Structure 1
Amino acid sequence: MTRTQWAALTAVVLALVFAGTATVASAARDDGTAAASAAAPSSDSADAGFARDMAVHHQQAVEMSFIVRDGTDDEDVRRLAYDIANTQANQRGMLMGWLDLWGLPKVEAGTEPMAWMAQTDGMKGMEGMDHGDAGHEAHDGSLMPGMATRTELDQLRKARGKAAEILYLQLMTDHHKGGVSMAQGCVRLCSNGTEKSLAEGMVAAQQSELSLMADLLAERGAKART
């Protein structure tokens, strides 16, 4: 197994391990009380906000991964794209399923994306991103930090070969940095133990993929945009 294959496999395994053990971790965080674990969060809670926003964030990662699959024959990039699409599609299903389980809407009218992160006291994540929406303004289809714009997605659709690989890796690097910050916010702010465990798994897996993408960019004589 090559270094690239091993790194990609490690990222997927980390996500699955954290998601698979989430129920056990939830019991510990809820102090063993059935009432705490059974209580559904409110619609304006960090738990619900994270589930909604990360589901949208993940959906774009899946979309970009399918786009690059058709834009290059490079096996390393296609394998990474497959792993990201598969992992984030599964996680998105979990997030949407929790909203259904809690009886909460998947879209909250009148609520801005990332509003749930304003519940913190101005702390910064590992990427130096303010959790109170990081000063991000929705523009050209970019609803949250790290998300690509419509223009960037169009550029990715048109790119081929090495150009497609580099652009995908750069866009996905930005995307993962935003996703890691959001997941770290949930670890601090969410009350549901199962969701917090999934968020921890996202942080570990996406940080591993960030390292892999930096290597793949370097192999192509490029680097991350930020």
Structure 2
Amino acid sequence: MPGTTTLPDDSDEQVGPAAGGARRQGTFVAVAALLVALGAVGGLLTGTRLAPSAATPAEGSADAGFARDMRVHHLQAVEMGVLVREATEDAEVRQLALDIVLTQQQQAGQMHAWLETWGLPQSGPAEPMAWMTGHGDHGAAPDGLMPGMATRDELTALAEADGAEAERIFLGLMIPHHEAGVEMAEAAVDLAEQDVVRDLAGAIVTAQEAELTVLREMLDARGGAPTEG
């Protein structure tokens, strides 16, 4: 049974910008360990709650494709949320990041559990977004990243930034990330066969559209993304 993983709350001792370089040592290792721990807990908590409403989804189905792709998409949002909480003392940004981490990790655990219940592997033979064929132009980028996902260089820039710069990078990356996530979830609402998949996809659309308004307002209040202007 995995232990409980707790994210630091805003009452923890804060590390100033001057210590940014030292604090970043091992950040990616810590993020990876956190995702593994939270993923195990999420899978255990959700693994027994799935009650399929239709025939078990097959390989190549929209249900399986959405579960795989959105899980990967969500886990990158979790990674970015953890990184910005390491980089800023801003209470508003830290709270938003915590909300994203907890919500999207829990949902990623649900999707992991679905695939296990369906007897399907966590990754499949099809290209990312292939299940969305006929639902707009949403193919993967040449580097294999799904729409809206940050590149490794962008994640490194976030990991190395501090304070207001980190906040602006995070907010600037999360906006296209959420926009693409909404499009993917809207496709799942239309194409998936399982009620549980359509229900979660609809909830993602509602939540991330609301968060997009907040993300844009927060980024504007901080002068816009660093790459703009």
Structure 2 length-normalised TM: 0.74
Q: Does 1:113 align with 2:128?
A: yes
Give the corresponding residue for 1:204.
Answer: 206
| Cα shift at 1:174 | 1.0
| Cα shift at 1:137 | 1.6
* Contact 1:214–1:224, Cα closer than 8 Å, also in 2: no
Which of residues 77, 82, 92 is equivalent to 2:108?
92
Q: Counterparts of 1:144-155 in structure 2 under 5 Å?
A: 144-155=146-157
Give the corresponding residue for 2:76.
Answer: 60
- Bigger RCO of structures 1 and 2 (CA < 8 A, at least 6 apart): 1
Give the corresponding residue for 2:97.
Answer: 81
Inter-partner Cα distance in structure 2 for 1:160 and 1:68: 8
- Unpaired runs of 5+ residues, structure 2, are 1-48
Give the corresponding residue for 1:163.
Answer: 165
* Contact 2:54–2:194, Cα closer than 8 Å, also in 1: no
Equivalent pairs counted in the alignment come to 180
Matched residue SS, 1:70: helix
Which of residues 215, 218, 229 is equivalent to 1:216?
218
Inter-partner Cα distance in structure 2 for 1:191 and 1:40: 9
Identity across aligned pairs (percent)?
Answer: 48
| Cα shift at 1:198 | 0.3
For 2:178, give the aligned amino acid.
H
Give the corresponding residue for 2:34.
Answer: none
| Cα shift at 1:102 | 0.6
Inter-partner Cα distance in structure 2 for 1:64 and 1:203: 20
| Cα shift at 1:39 | 1.5
| Cα shift at 1:38 | 4.5
| Cα shift at 1:138 | 3.7
Structure 1 length-normalised TM: 0.75
| Cα shift at 1:224 | 9.6
Q: Does 1:37 align with 2:53?
A: yes
Matched residue SS, 1:60: helix
Inter-partner Cα distance in structure 1 for 2:205 and 2:123: 24
Inter-partner Cα distance in structure 1 for 2:111 and 2:226: 29
For 2:141, give the aligned amino acid.
E
Matched residue SS, 1:73: coil
| Cα shift at 1:207 | 0.5
Give the corresponding residue for 1:16.
Answer: none
Give the corresponding residue for 1:182.
Answer: 184
| Cα shift at 1:194 | 1.1
* Contact 1:72–1:78, Cα closer than 8 Å, also in 2: yes
* Contact 1:50–1:116, Cα closer than 8 Å, also in 2: yes
1:112-162 CA-to-partner distances (Å, cap 9, x unmatched) read: 1111011x2xx44xxxxx24x2xx4242xx610000000000000011110
For 2:129, give the aligned amino acid.
M
* Contact 1:214–1:223, Cα closer than 8 Å, also in 2: no
- Unpaired runs of 5+ residues, structure 1, are 1-22, 28-35, 125-129
